[in-house]
Amino acid sequence: MLRQRFVLDTTALTDVHMRESEGFKNLCEGMLAILELIAEARLKLGISCYIPYPTVYNEAKSFAKRYECGDEIITKIDTWLVKKTPARYEVKIPAEIFYEYVETMRERINKGMVISEDAIWELSSAILSIDPRELGKMRREELERNVIGPIIGKFREKYRAATRHGVLDSAPDIDVLLLAKELDAAVVASDLGIQKWAQRIGLRFLDASSFPKMIKEYLVKAGDG
């Protein structure tokens, strides 16, 4: 069997859909099970799973610590995931990809500006529509809870969808792509931004929710052999 390489985003270990489909009760149980599968695949099949260092590595450890998963998971991350810093000055990305990314971000910024303007107008109109006498009687907490809060909540949701959904918006995201390109490895993630740009760069992509099933299928077939 051809030995394969995978570069893992943090979502490869923490994805909610993966946990639900595999029947894991919580994040810690899911992370532990995935790392156990990775260990078995490495020992029996020679499959290597990489994690960009220090960006994604620190992010994965932070998740484990935040949810109090215990030292066992940290140890397994250190043992079974190969930590490697991408060769950022050596990996070559076509200039057209960079051009597309800049154009995409410009479009997202413009959408975010329009959404911000709409929210300002909506908030101004909401406050101006209140009778001045009633407005004077309202406590600050009441105004924030009933008028300002709901509009800000709606603004955040729209702004996040317009500017962050499906784009690369962090250093870990970029490191995953760069390392996969360097190693000619497949990317494992649930992030839509990583998926989109992995396809544009010509990388193999595997959704995080399918990753455990694939490893299990490899192990089953290897056992049959």
pLDDT per position as a tens digit, 148-179: 999 999 999 999 888 887 788 889 999 999 99
For residues 47 and 87, the answer to whether their CB atoms sit within 8 Å is no
E-assigned strands of the chain? 5-8, 48-52, 82-84, 186-189, 205-207
Residue 115: Cβ within 10 Å count: 20
pTM of the predicted model, to two decimals? Answer: 0.83
For residues 177 and 201, the answer to whether their CB atoms sit within 8 Å is yes
Q: List Cα–Cα distances, 102 to 49, 91, 180, 188, in angstroms.
A: 30, 19, 21, 24
pLDDT per position as a tens digit, 48-63: 999 999 999 999 999 9
pLDDT per position as a tens digit, 66-124: 999 999 999 999 999 999 999 999 999 888 988 998 898 899 999 999 999 999 999 99
Domain spans, the chain: 5-93+177-224, 95-163
**DSSP 8-state secondary structure symbol assigned to residue 9:** -
**DSSP 8-state secondary structure symbol assigned to residue 210:** G
Q: What is the CATH number of domain 5-93+177-224?
A: 3.40.50
